[in-house]
Amino acid sequence: MVLISIYAVSAILFTSALAETSIRYMPFGASIVQATCWRAYLWQHLQSTGYTNIDFVGSLSSSAQCGSPAINYDRDHEGHSGYLAIDVADQGLLPGWLKSTPAKIITMHLGTNDIREGYGTKAILAAYSTLIDQMRASNADMKIIV
């Protein structure tokens, strides 16, 4: 999972205009975004490969210690523990988050909680479609990693 996210974001950044002052990247999802260290490892990888103009964005900031010694990284994100893709889509939560912290690139890690609650693939994919439509409404050129 960590390597997939690292390489996907790196590939998208490679094709983005790196001359920009700052590239706003939103880690978005549930507890996998909030409580795990992949964001720290991604940040570290991006910094060490020359992508120093990345700004992680989101309305939340995590204080988790990752690595030994602890990795210093941009802790902003939009990871809400326990949230369901279906609820985020149906309640229209994402547009507000994107309005307050706009992003050029977003990684979406949602769906596990939906499965645990007994929702089927059709309902989860419908929520994904809604969320992607909301992302595109926020920024038609947004790069989206699911």
- Where along the chain do its domains lie? 1-7+32-80, 82-146
CA–centroid distance for 33 within its chain: 7
Angle at 102 between CA 97 and CA 106, to 5 degrees: 85
DSSP output for 43-88? HHHHHHTT-TTEEE--SEE-----TTTTPP---EEEE-TT--HHHH
Look at residue 138 in the predicted model and tell me its pLDDT: 97
Closest CA to 133 of 78, 79, 75, 88: 88
Q: What's the pTM?
A: 0.87
pLDDT tens-digit profile, the chain (146 residues): 555 556 666 666 555 545 568 999 999 999 999 888 899 999 999 999 999 999 999 999 987 778 888 889 999 999 999 999 999 999 999 999 999 999 999 999 999 999 999 999 999 999 999 999 999 999 999 999 99
Look at residue 18 in the predicted model and tell me its pLDDT: 54
